[in-house]
Amino acid sequence: MRRIAALLLAMAACSGGEESSLDVVRLGYQRYVSYAPIFIAQEEGYFARHGIKLELVLMADGNTGTPLVVSGVIDALAGPGSPGVLNAIARGAKVRLVADKGSVPDTGCSQMAVIGRPGIDLTTARRISPSRATAAIEYFADSALRAAGIRLDQLEVHHLPTSVHIEALSGRSIDLVATTEPAVSRLVAAGNHVVRDAAQVVPGLPYGFVIFGDRLMSRDRAIGERFMAAYLDGIEAYAAGKTERNLAIVSAATGDPVEVLSRSCWPPFRTAGIDTVAFGAFQEWAMSRKLLDRRLGYAEYWDGTFLEAARRLAGSR
């Protein structure tokens, strides 16, 4: 018995040693489908395999993570390429966008849509509720309306919480909602309809990014490279589609039922660069709304070396 006890103690010590030898990376995130590769990589042990202990820090919304990654409270942020992040970079913050975390596809359904109540289209709508989760949603809604000869400021704009959208549409207190999955699928299931899909209006738009702060950008670049390798492993597993395993992981992480996730559009992830033309158009819109100090060049906001290093790490296995 003493030998068994000693063996168990030794095994526990080894396990604790392995855990403590991992490099901790604090990542700001939200509970949305666009974080699926991160959830999968965490659950399947890809981060641990690359020597990283990932600590997920829940954000109330993507924008609240900006000051945290700029100040170093968190090491990385998975969130929108918001005007706030771009302004911080323009003002000298040591943060960069390093990977795509969700882009609008060129065809088919996307994760983002304008939803209308029955009988409503863009030309008959009077009241709209664009989600404030990211400025990209408001940009998409404004672009969809402009394509129909309407400006967003011609409508009553209400920023209602997602939880009341179904009731607000059925009660006719709003006519349109601009939002993302899985809210899109829920609204359609409730009898509403897709007025415009983002792929019809802003194809290629990157609306989410992995954003590294100063620690991973400079002091611990090797850790950032290993983080990226794990992230690419997660994207590869995600690319298998809505498998039983992937659905279970994403459902557990987001709290969304499997049946809702099964109906939802899942976004594509680019594993090289991004659509700079589409992102440039977003920057121009943000400047027109006085949300952005100036338009940044690709080399100012983007660092693709982590993706390149991650692919080398993958090739060495």
What pLDDT was estimated at residue 237? Answer: 97
Distance CA 173, CA 178 (A): 15
User: Is the confidence at residue 70, as pLDDT, over 90?
Assistant: yes
User: Is the confidence at residue 228, as pLDDT, over 80?
Assistant: yes
Question: Do residue 40 and residue 72 come from a single domain?
Answer: yes
| 61 phi/psi in degrees, rounded to 5 | -155, 170
What pLDDT was estimated at residue 152? Answer: 87
Q: Give how many domains the chain has, as a whole number.
A: 2
The fraction of the chain above a pLDDT of 90, given in percent, is 81
Boundary (domain end) residue, out of 201, 235, 255: 201
The residue that leads in pLDDT, 316 or 37, is 37
Boundary (domain end) residue, out of 201, 223, 254: 201
Share in percent of the chain as helix, strand, coil (round to 5): 50, 15, 35
Question: Do residue 144 and residue 288 come from a single domain?
Answer: no
Average pLDDT over residues 63-76: 94
What pLDDT was estimated at residue 271? Answer: 92
1-15, 46-60, 209-223, 267-281, range with the lowest pLDDT = 1-15
- In the chain, which residue ranges form alpha helices assigned H by DSSP? 2-20, 36-43, 46-49, 65-71, 83-90, 135-147, 165-170, 183-189, 198-201, 214, 221-238, 244-254, 258-263, 276-288, 298-301, 305-315
92: left (phi over 0), alpha (psi -120 to 50) or beta: left
Question: Do residue 92 and residue 236 come from a single domain?
Answer: yes
Question: Do residue 256 and residue 131 come from a single domain?
Answer: no
pLDDT tens digits for range 193-206: 999 999 999 999 99
Distance CA 153, CA 150 (A): 9
Domain housing 48: 2-103+205-315
What pLDDT was estimated at residue 174? Answer: 96
pLDDT tens digits for range 241-297: 999 999 999 999 999 999 999 999 999 999 988 999 999 999 999 999 999 999 999
DSSP state of 22: S
What pLDDT was estimated at residue 134? Answer: 83
Question: Do residue 67 and residue 134 come from a single domain?
Answer: no
User: Is the confidence at residue 154, as pLDDT, over 50?
Assistant: yes
pLDDT tens digits for range 163-189: 899 999 999 999 999 999 989 999 999
What CATH number does the domain containing 153 carry? 3.40.190.10
User: Is the confidence at residue 221, as pLDDT, over 50?
Assistant: yes
pLDDT tens digits for range 97-134: 999 999 999 988 889 999 999 999 999 999 999 987 78
Say if residue 16 is exposed, middle or buried (CB neighbours under 10 Å; 0-12, 13-18, 19+): exposed
Residue 238: count of CB within 10 angstroms of its CB:
24
Say if residue 277 is exposed, middle or buried (CB neighbours under 10 Å; 0-12, 13-18, 19+): exposed
The type of residue at 175 is D
Question: Do residue 98 and residue 126 come from a single domain?
Answer: no
Question: Do residue 130 and residue 255 come from a single domain?
Answer: no
Question: Do residue 151 and residue 212 come from a single domain?
Answer: no
Question: Do residue 18 and residue 131 come from a single domain?
Answer: no
What pLDDT was estimated at residue 317? Answer: 53
User: Is the confidence at residue 9, as pLDDT, over 60?
Assistant: no
The helix/strand/coil state of 186 is: helix
Question: Do residue 244 and residue 226 come from a single domain?
Answer: yes
Question: Do residue 11 and residue 153 come from a single domain?
Answer: no
Boundary (domain end) residue, out of 183, 201, 219: 201
What pLDDT was estimated at residue 19? Answer: 61
Distance CA 192, CA 207 (A): 25
Closest residue by Cα to residue 68 from 85, 47, 91, 86: 85
Question: Do residue 176 and residue 227 come from a single domain?
Answer: no
